[in-house]
A and B are shown apart, each in its own frame.
Chain A
Amino acid sequence: MLPNTAYVDASQLGRSRQAVSQILETAASGGCGTTGGEGKASCGTSAGPGDMPEEIWNKVKNHPCYSEEAHHHYARMHVAVAPACNIQCNYCNRKYDCSNESRPGVVSQKLTPEQAVKKVVAVASEIPQMTVLGIAGPGDALANPKKTFDTFRMLQEQAPDIKLCLSTNGLALPELADEICKYNIDHVTITINMVDPAVGEKIYPWIFWNHRRVTGIEAATILHEQQMKGLEMLTERGVLTKINSVLIPGINDEHLIEVNREVKKRGAFLHNIMPLISEPEHGTVFGLTGQRGPSAQELKAVQDACMGGANLMRHCRQCRADAVGLLGEDRSEEFTLDKIDEMEVVYDLDKRKTYQDKVEAERQAQHAAKVAALAATRLDDGVDPDMKVLIAVATEGHGKVNQHFGHATEFQIFEVSQGAALFVGHRRVDLYCQGGYGEEETLPSVVSAINDCHAVLVSKIGACPRDELKAAGIEPVDEYAHEFIEKAALSWFGGYRERIASGLITHQVRGDAQIRQGAFSGAAEQAA
Chain B
Amino acid sequence: MALKIIASMCTGCSACEPECPNVAIREKGGTFIIDPAKCTECEGQFDSPQCVAVCPVDNCIKSA
Chain A residues with CB under 8 Å of chain B are 83-86, 88, 94-95, 97, 110, 138-139, 143-144, 208, 211-213
Contacts and interface: CB of A to CB of B under 8 A. Distances in A.
Nearest to B21: A211
Interface string B33-64: 00000000000001110100110110000000
B13 A94 contact: yes
A401 B43 CA distance: 64
A83 B12 contact: yes
Contacts of A97: 11
B56 A213 contact: no
B14 A84 contact: yes
A84 B46 CA distance: 21
B53 A208 contact: yes
Interface in B1-50: 9, 11-15, 18-19, 46-48, 50
Contacts of A95: 9, 11, 56-57
A94 B56 contact: yes
Contacts of A84: 13-15, 18, 54
22 contacts: A83-B15, A84-B54, A85-B56, A88-B56, A94-B11, A94-B56, A94-B57, A95-B9, A95-B56, A97-B11, A138-B13, A139-B15, A143-B15, A208-B15, A208-B19, A208-B53, A211-B19, A211-B53, A212-B47, A212-B48, A212-B53, A213-B54
B22 to A, nearest CB: 14
A86 B48 contact: no
Nearest to A95: B11
Nearest to B56: A94
B14 to A, nearest CB: 5
A110 B30 CA distance: 9
Contacts of A213: 48, 53-54
A166 B14 CA distance: 19
Nearest to B54: A208
A110 B56 contact: no
Contacts, number: 47
A215 B3 CA distance: 23
B43 to A, nearest CB: 14
Nearest to A145: B18
B53 A139 contact: no
The 4 closest A-B pairs by CB, nearest first: A84-B15, A213-B53, A83-B13, A208-B54
A106 to B, nearest CB: 11
A97 B13 CA distance: 12
B47 A85 contact: no
A349 to B, nearest CB: 34
Contacts of A143: 15
Nearest to B50: A211
A85 B11 contact: no
A110 B19 CA distance: 20
Contacts of B19: 208, 211
A86 B19 CA distance: 11
Given A94-B11, A94-B56, 4 more contacts: A84-B13, A84-B15, A139-B13, A143-B15
**A139, A143, A211 interface centre (most CB from chain B within 10 Å):** A211
Nearest to B57: A95
Contacts of A85: 13, 15, 56
**B13, B14, B46, B48 interface centre (most CB from chain A within 10 Å):** B13
Contacts of A83: 11-15
A143 B13 CA distance: 11
Contacts of B53: 208, 211-213
A110 B47 CA distance: 32
A139 to B, nearest CB: 6
Nearest to A110: B12
B61 to A, nearest CB: 12
A220 B19 CA distance: 22
Contacts of A208: 15, 19, 53-54
A94 B54 CA distance: 13
